[in-house]
Chains A and B, each alone.
Chain A
Amino acid sequence: MAMATPDELKARIEAAIPGAEAVVESADNVHFSARVRADAFAGKSRIQQHRMVYDAFAEGELGGAVHALQIKTEVP
């Protein structure tokens, strides 16, 4: 991903976590915040939930095109 956009991040996260609903915001397309709701988070620790979101990205993307990703996870 050369230039990241909130829509792109939303699509990535929702594709990586089946049934997830993500709201992604960014003021500068470099720093992002994502609110992710997913049934798949049920019964998982916050660490595990956040790891599932991180796993939507390839090695080097976080810290590269996506400088910072703030995450908030929720179980519906």
Chain B
Amino acid sequence: MSDNPLRDAIQEAIRDNEVILFMKGTPDQPMCGFSARTAAALQAVGNPFAAVDVLPDPRIRSELTAVSEWPTIPQLFVKGELVGGCDIVTEMYETGELHETLGAEKPAEAEAAPAPEPAGPPPLGIENRLG
């Protein structure tokens, strides 16, 4: 154990959950359009996944970025490895790779694309996915 319990907890969560999404808000109540799209893609695949809201404490985000060396939120980890953020996950959903990565049955070609639109409102113009 290090003397950084929050970083330890994040690393433990990544290790202990086969599929884990760090996002702004929750899958049912995303607080950012990019997080919403990523969670919607995972929900469309249908396999269960863990989700962590980074908003309650800014240290969650800074520690996560220190662990992953990835600048933006959301971040999807599968089997302990960073898979990507919104752009990569959306692209993988459209190609069917996300199903494969998550061990789900690939959808029939006709049903695969396009990526699902999140139910929530679209991202606001002032949104800052990096901030």
User: Which residues of B line the A interface, CB within 8 A?
Assistant: 69-72, 82-88, 91-92, 125, 127-131
With both beta carbons as reference points, the residue of chain A lying nearest to B89 in the complex is identified as A46
Query: What range describes how many residues of A lie at the interface?
Result: 10 to 19
- Asked whether B128 lies within 8 Å of A67 as measured between CB atoms, the reply is yes
User: Does A50 interact with chain B (Cβ within 8 Å)?
Assistant: yes
User: Which residues of A line the B interface, CB within 8 A?
Assistant: 28, 46-47, 50-51, 54, 62-63, 66-68, 70-72
Chain A-chain B contacts (Cβ-Cβ < 8 Å), number: 39
Q: When A63-B71, A72-B91 are in contact, do A50 and B127 touch as well, CB less than 8 Å?
A: no
- Asked whether A62 lies within 8 Å of B130 as measured between CB atoms, the reply is yes
- Asked whether A63 lies within 8 Å of B87 as measured between CB atoms, the reply is no
With both beta carbons as reference points, the residue of chain A lying nearest to B85 in the complex is identified as A50
Shortest CB-to-CB span from B70 to chain A, Å, is: 8
What would 6 more interface pairs be, CB under 8 Å, given A47-B70, A67-B131, A72-B91? A28-B125, A47-B88, A54-B71, A63-B71, A67-B129, A68-B129
